[in-house]
């Protein structure tokens, strides 16, 4: 009996070893999947470290340093930890088991003009911090274009790597919403949310769309205010269940508290899901292609994800996206062009700025993208310190994702990172 068990165990280990070797042989060398399966030989799963597991608990920050879904914002990760989470974040398997919208690249992708100069601060930060990509765009040209070196993270992160948006995706969802308004599916930012049955007997019912866009739906007694990602009573992670599940459980028979700014992932997911509901899957997918393939001119495919526990055909959506470094910039350039050409979508962005709300607090740490703003405008941070009333929109996300657009002076900085440990004041604030 013991011999049989030993043989079975040996076969199991051997087969897994062979399968791993097969992946390394079959997959393109240095591709995302190739690195994720540790084909470079730099596995982090040694005897003194736990194996990678996703969603160990509902809160994705539980299990750090190796068994969390993401690095906590206040952590101080070393190189190995940063590399571990970079591999995890770009692993295509993380969107393979859930509903997604895949927007295919276009052959006629937008080509950039370049007038490049070296920025020593950027180069220094790329060599010492979790910074992956830095792009600066001024008056129609890219003037700074730097990517993590090969001896840092450059063997893993490349121009074609799809990187998670984190909360930068919130701003892109808002931009998508503007297109749905311009197509007539929604009457405007003051459209009342009273035509979707799942919202009845919840605090969102009959509120104007601008309230959840401004993170001001009165949900702060239901959502934990730190990070806006967990429900107070159930401890469920907001981005796991569908909007339908959330409305039937956490928000059932709820009433809005005081309408004020209170950051919450639910607000964005609600807006995204509502747009999907108003349009239907077919028209929504068509519009995404019109926005990102035809108008933005993406060079590589991009992904927008549904909730992890949602059914694939369920009318529900998150702000989670996976986009390449140049395509993030292309999206920002499309916003800049809309604003300055006064298109319908540009007028939508301007209406968000006109209806911005005071955040009501001033963080002690005012040196980061999220905290360095006085106001919030429809899923964008506005009111950069020391810049007066200049309409500078900031998209900011966990891990240091940051895109800032100065509409009047036609400037953009676009940053991707694994962790927010770079000098934001030098790399971003000083540019505007």
The confidence band for 16, taking pLDDT boundaries of 50, 70 and 90, is very low
Q: Is 267 left (phi over 0), alpha (psi -120 to 50) or beta?
A: alpha
Q: Hey, which residues does 103 pair with through a beta bridge?
A: 302
State the pTM of this model.
0.87
For 91-100, 315-324, 370-379, 422-431, which range has the lowest pLDDT when averaged over its residues? 91-100
Q: What percent of the chain has pLDDT over 70?
A: 85
| Over residues 36-42, mean pLDDT | 48
Q: What's the confidence (pLDDT) of residue 302?
A: 98
pLDDT at 385 over 50: yes
**Which three-class secondary structure string do you get for the chain?**
CHHHHHHHHHHHHHHHHHHHHHHHHHCCCCCHHHHHCCCCCCCCCCCCCCCCCCCCCCCCCCCCCCCCCCCCCCCCCCHHHHHHHHHHHCCCHHHHCCCEEEECCCCCCCCCEECCCCCHHHHHHHHHCCEEEEEEEECCEEEEEEECCHHHHHCCCCCCCCEECCCHHHHHHHHHHHHHHHCCCCCCCCCECCCCHHHCCCCCCCCECHHHHCCCCCCCCCECCCCCCEECCCCCECCCCCHHHHHHCCCCCCCCCCCCCCCCHHHHHHHHHHHHHHHHHHHHHHHHHHHHHHHHCCCCCEEEECCCCCCCCCCCCCCCEEECHHHHHHHHHHHHHHHHHCCHHHHHHHHHHHCCEECCCCCCCCCCCCCCCCEECCCCEECCCCCCCCCEEEEEEHHHEEEEEECCCCEEEEEEECCCCCCHHHHCHHHC
Q: What's the confidence (pLDDT) of residue 42?
A: 42
Q: What's the confidence (pLDDT) of residue 19?
A: 47
The confidence band for 132, taking pLDDT boundaries of 50, 70 and 90, is very high
| Over residues 305-331, mean pLDDT | 97
| Over residues 172-197, mean pLDDT | 98
Give Cα separations from 401 to 52, 228, 325, 415, 419 (angstroms). Answer: 23, 17, 11, 6, 8
Q: What is the mean pLDDT of the chain?
A: 88
Q: What's the confidence (pLDDT) of residue 260?
A: 96
Q: What's the confidence (pLDDT) of residue 143?
A: 98
- Name, of 10-19, 53-62, 135-144, the range with top average pLDDT: 135-144
pLDDT at 33 over 70: no
The confidence band for 321, taking pLDDT boundaries of 50, 70 and 90, is very high
pLDDT at 18 over 90: no
Residue labelled with tokens 């292309």: 330
Q: What's the confidence (pLDDT) of residue 28?
A: 54
| Over residues 341-360, mean pLDDT | 97
* Spans of all domains in the chain: 2-91, 100-128+145-185+272-352
The burial class, CB within 10 Å (0-12 / 13-18 / 19+), for 75 is middle
pLDDT at 182 over 80: yes
| Over residues 171-185, mean pLDDT | 99
Residues 358, 243: Cα–Cα separation, whole Å: 27
Q: What's the confidence (pLDDT) of residue 60?
A: 73
For 54-68, 107-121, 313-327, 393-407, which range has the lowest pLDDT when averaged over its residues? 54-68
Tell which wins on pLDDT, 16 or 159: 159
| Over residues 373-381, mean pLDDT | 96
pLDDT tens for 248-262 read 999 999 999 999 999
The confidence band for 15, taking pLDDT boundaries of 50, 70 and 90, is very low
pLDDT tens for 210-255 read 999 999 999 999 998 777 889 999 999 999 999 999 999 999 999 9
Find the largest Cα–Cα distance for the chain.
78
Instruction: Supply 185's token pair.
Output: 């599916």
Q: What's the confidence (pLDDT) of residue 26?
A: 58
pLDDT tens for 136-147 read 999 999 999 999
pLDDT tens for 87-100 read 999 998 876 689 99
Q: What's the confidence (pLDDT) of residue 96?
A: 64
Tell which wins on pLDDT, 29 or 36: 29
pLDDT at 286 over 90: yes
* Angle between helices 325-341 and 344-354 in degrees, nearest 10: 90
């Amino acid at each position: 009996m013991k011999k049989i068990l030993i043989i079975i165990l040996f076969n199991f280990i051997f087969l897994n070893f062979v399968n791993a070797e097969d992946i390394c042989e079959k997959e393109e060398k240095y591709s995302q999947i190739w690195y994720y399966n540790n084909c470079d030989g730099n596995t982090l799963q040694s005897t003194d470290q736990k194996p990678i597991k996703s969603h160990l608990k509902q809160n994705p920050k539980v299990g750090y340093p190796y068994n969390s879904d993401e690095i906590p914002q206040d952590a101080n990760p070393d190189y190995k930890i940063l590399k571990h989470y970079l591999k995890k974040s770009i692993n295509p398997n993380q969107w393979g088991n859930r509903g997604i919208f895949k927007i295919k690249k276009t052959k006629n992708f937008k080509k950039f003009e370049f007038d490049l100069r070296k920025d020593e601060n950027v180069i220094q930060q790329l060599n010492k911090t979790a910074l992956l990509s830095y792009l600066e765009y001024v008056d129609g040209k890219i003037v700074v274009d730097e990517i993590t070196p090969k001896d840092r993270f450059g063997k893993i992160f490349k121009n074609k790597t799809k990187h998670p948006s984190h909360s930068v995706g919130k701003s892109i969802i808002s931009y998508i919403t503007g297109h749905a308004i311009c197509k007539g599916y929604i009457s405007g930012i003051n459209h009342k949310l009273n035509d979707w049955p799942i919202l009845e007997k919840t605090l969102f019912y009959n509120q104007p769309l601008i309230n959840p866009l401004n993170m001001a739906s009165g949900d702060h007694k239901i959502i934990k205010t730190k990070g806006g990602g967990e429900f107070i009573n159930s401890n469920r992670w907001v981005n796991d269940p569908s909007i339908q599940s959330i409305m039937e459980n956490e928000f059932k028979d709820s009433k809005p508290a005081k309408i004020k700014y209170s950051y919450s992932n639910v607000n964005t997911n609600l807006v995204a899901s509502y747009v999907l509901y108003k349009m239907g899957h077919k028209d929504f997918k068509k519009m995404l292609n019109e926005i990102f393939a035809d108008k933005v001119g993406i060079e590589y495919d991009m992904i927008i994800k549904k909730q992890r526990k949602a059914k694939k055909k369920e009318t529900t959506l998150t702000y989670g996206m996976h986009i390449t470094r140049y395509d993030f910039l292309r999206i920002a350039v499309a916003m800049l062009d809309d604003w300055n050409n006064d298109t319908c979508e540009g007028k939508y962005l301007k209406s968000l700025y006109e209806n911005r709300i005071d955040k009501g607090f001033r963080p002690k740490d005012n040196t980061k993208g999220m905290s360095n703003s006085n106001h919030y405008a429809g899923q964008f941070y506005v009111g950069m310190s020391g810049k007066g009333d200049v309409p500078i929109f900031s998209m900011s996300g966990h891990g240091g994702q940051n895109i800032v657009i100065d509409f009047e002076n036609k400037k953009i900085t676009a940053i991707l990172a694994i962790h927010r440990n770079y000098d934001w004041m030098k790399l971003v604030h000083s540019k505007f």
